[in-house]
Amino acid sequence: MSQLPSNRFNHFKLKFMKRLSVILVVFLFIAGTTFAQERGGGQRPSRTEQGRPGNRPQMNPEEMLKRQTQRLVEELKLTKDQEAKVTAINKKYMEKQSFDWSKMRDASDEERAKMREERTKIQAEKDKEIKALLNADQVKLYDEMLKKREEMRRNGQGRMPGAGGPG
């Protein structure tokens, strides 16, 4: 009978370990689902509440215009005359390109494709006007900037700094 207490002890130990394992699994499941839920009852904050990528503050249209033009001035070495004309072009197209992203989100795939096509067409017009102001070396640099912007877009890297690529 000396084995009986040892078997009984092992039985209780095994039962205790099973219960502990179940409790641990339940705890981890609850903790995991709690941390996986978003704040605010599962509703996602708007883009303005959420902040921008890289914690950059959202720029107003004047700041975006200035930043787009400044990037072109620095990268293409624009003259003062070119800078003034590029600023005017950027301003003209900023107004044309103002876009309600909620429409894109709520649109069908066909409507989205049409909106995307329209935005691409407007961007091509803008690029054409800017290129008309540039000399041959600047056009080459500008084309490289556009190519880089397109590669970043295709790779899912979002926008280039300055909200929307060159110009």
Higher pLDDT, residue 45 or 66: 66
Q: Determine the longest span between alpha carbons in the chain, in angstroms.
A: 105
Neighbours of 90 (CB within 10 A): 23
Residue 40 has pLDDT above 60, yes or no: no
Q: HEC string of 16-56? A: HHHHHHHHHHHHHHHHHHHHHCCCCCCCCCCHHHHCCHHHC
Confidence bin at 38 (pLDDT 50/70/90): low
Average pLDDT for 126-130: 90
CB 87 within 8 A of CB 65: yes
Average pLDDT for 134-150: 90
CB 52 within 8 A of CB 58: yes
Quick: pLDDT tens for 74-95: 888 888 999 899 888 888 888 7
Confidence bin at 54 (pLDDT 50/70/90): low
Mean pLDDT for the chain overall: 77
> DSSP secondary-structure letter at 140?
H
Neighbours of 84 (CB within 10 A): 13
Write down the pLDDT at residue 149.
Answer: 84
Q: What percent of the chain has pLDDT over 70?
A: 74
Ranges 9-18, 69-78, 151-160, most confident:
69-78
Residue 37 has pLDDT above 80, yes or no: no
| Residue 81 identity (one-letter amino acid) | D
- The single residue listed with the structure tokens 């700094």 is 161
Residue 100 has pLDDT above 80, yes or no: no
Q: Where do the domains of the chain lie?
A: 60-154
Average pLDDT for 133-140: 90
Average pLDDT for 100-128: 82
* Residues 146, 80: Cα–Cα separation, whole Å: 22
